[in-house]
Chains A and B, each alone.
Chain A
């Protein structure tokens, strides 16, 4: 009985924690995912170089650099939103975004905004493809009929952006470019 109570409480806590995940709004009322990160060990140029490498190498299939200065990178990107049922699922749409990165000595910040959702539909070949090119702003208030589905999209988009944020911070903290240039270690069996 105690175990059952514990499981129910645990599930309830997880649900509460999941509900708390939501986008903040910027001055214009648009959703924004905003992060400021201290990075005392890296200088501004290194941060900038790694941010450019992230956009143009690591995420090149889903991001496109639009502009860059000596302290910032601007890019556009898309991320696929999945509809998951247990272990299987399929893409339900994509969210496009504008990405801004700015570096200073000892810290950097980045944010994603202008979030637009484009729904996918299964085509005649069984592939999920965009039904339209015109995206719907994630900030919109959906009607009653589509409120549940929209909430799922928001949750999924937030989780994807959190993962993106984690990947980005990890990429900037570790020098992936230098690692890639190192030769693979060879083992000789002639001498031992």
Chain B
């Protein structure tokens, strides 16, 4: 591993020295702010089994997210920080936490990496990056639905590591990289995971990512295989799909899962798009812990006006093992909620 990393850095520094100076781009500043109101139909905040949108009958905060990007010649950096429940205590890890300091819930680093374009086809990136696995992301600007899927919640959020990307054409590219364990700024088990992504765009408007990540992750060592694809079929209709399978090497440890989610979206008006998310998600049996499966349907609207997006949403979840709660506290097979979010992107 050390030899491989040394070779990669040596190659990177040699090419840096050979690179010619090219113009500098201006500093890019962007970000978002989001807030929401949620009402759980059983008046129980514990019915939310996925990330974010946690509070019941409350106007609550998402996060403020600020990203900086600059490119000088062939080198660029991205630094993105978030503050607020969505970007700190509800995301992992807390940036104030280390081996000696317990979590204080200060802020979360979304992206902090440096990229170098060796050629128009080949680039390398090192640092802490949003994960390449999955359809949904932490930032509400990157998602159509405001609540998140089970696949998102149980997969990696971010990966620290070094990766190389080769673009064969606009239709095919390949990424391979070495990563820390999931969602950590510094490796707890060494640079112990290997990952890759094959991007193919078979027809205009259709892009598919086939992802794999094997090594240290949630529940020990494991391997996740993921397909993320979206197809803009017409100007008004888009279809997305995410399917993933995660197996923890030690089969007695709970956390292995498999699932799929479908995302049809239809623009009914210039500024209004309706979307549905239908998901099936199953935690696999592990030792004495039996398997359990969720199905969820989420109906969402995006109403846009400039940088502002209103997101009204109704979500219904089902699990025959009754992990949800009724109003009085009794267990129930169904959960449901309504939420209205406002997201401003700048």
Contacts and interface: CB of A to CB of B under 8 A. Distances in A.
A180 interface: no
A122 interface: yes
Contact of A123 (B142, B303, B345): B142
B30 A90 contact: yes
Interface string A127-160: 1100011101000001101101100000000000
A35 to B, nearest CB: 26
A122 B205 contact: no
A138 to B, nearest CB: 14
A148 B69 CA distance: 26
A121 B307 CA distance: 11
Contacts of A122: 30, 67, 139, 141-142, 345
Interface residues of B, number: 36
The range of chain A's interface size is: 20 to 34
A89 B26 contact: yes
Given A90-B30, A143-B269, A146-B305, A126 B142 contact: no
Given A88-B28, A90-B69, A122-B67, A145 B270 contact: yes
Contact of B29 (A89, A121, A133, A143): A89
B21 interface: no
Nearest to B67: A126
Interface centre among B26, B269, B307, B345 (most CB of A within 10 A): B26
A1 interface: no
B142 A128 contact: no
Interface of A: 85, 87-91, 121-128, 132-134, 136, 142-143, 145-146, 148-149
17 contacts: A88-B27, A88-B28, A123-B142, A124-B142, A126-B67, A126-B130, A127-B69, A128-B30, A132-B205, A132-B238, A133-B205, A134-B205, A134-B232, A143-B269, A145-B270, A145-B305, A146-B306
